[in-house]
Amino acid sequence: MEKKFLLLLALLPLCATLTYGQMDNQAILGKWEVTAYSEQGIQVDKKAPAVPQAIQVWRHIRQERARFWYGYDENWDPKKPRQYDRWEERDSTLEVTRLAQAISMPYYAIFFPDGTLSLYNKSSENNQILFPESRRYQFNPTTNSLFIFPAMAFTDFPEWRAQILSLTQDKMTLFLPESGEIVQLTRTNTSIP
């Protein structure tokens, strides 16, 4: 009798953890809209005006783009090539436009009960679904962490190990330690997708 009682006492924390985990797993299910994230190292707010944020991101990545796309590094050669100014003006215009579109375009994440995670952009102009991705996720209620990985074995999609910093009925804040990124999501009550 005493052994059964001790065994029951030993199993109670495990049962409590399983119950707690099931309740928490329910808390992340559904459709979420990403409202803030890091765009190439700069934190952006998808609900704020996109163009000033896009300019800030471009200024942050300007030297890296010049090295990669034009082959110029002002740290190595302070004298700019003659045509560099025109290239930089053209690059800034195109890249700021692209970044502003990316920042302003709604981005959604849907957590399904079977461990599937659907990610996609949705065009504001015509409600077209763009850049859909399917991933898998595992939620660990003990550590409040999410492991997000490709849905198929041999793909180029990166794995994300996200720490849930806060989770309420309407908001979730994630930390992605690999990139040092904070991602904020807001639950949507709209239909899927």
CATH 2.40.128.280 assigned to 30-46+106-187: yes
Per-residue pLDDT of the chain (193 residues; tens, 9 = 90+): 444 333 333 433 443 343 334 446 788 999 999 999 999 999 999 999 999 999 999 999 998 998 888 888 877 777 778 788 898 999 999 999 999 999 999 999 999 999 999 999 998 888 899 999 999 999 998 899 999 998 876 667 778 899 999 999 999 999 999 888 999 999 998 656 5
Dihedrals phi, psi of 63, to nearest 5 degrees: -65, -40
Q: What is the reported pLDDT for 67?
A: 86
Domains of the chain, by residue range, sit at 30-46+106-187, 50-102
pLDDT of 21 reads: 43
Comparing CA positions, the residue from 108, 142, 145 lying closest to residue 127 is: 108
Environment class of 32 (CB within 10 Å of its CB; exposed 0-12, middle 13-18, buried 19+)? buried
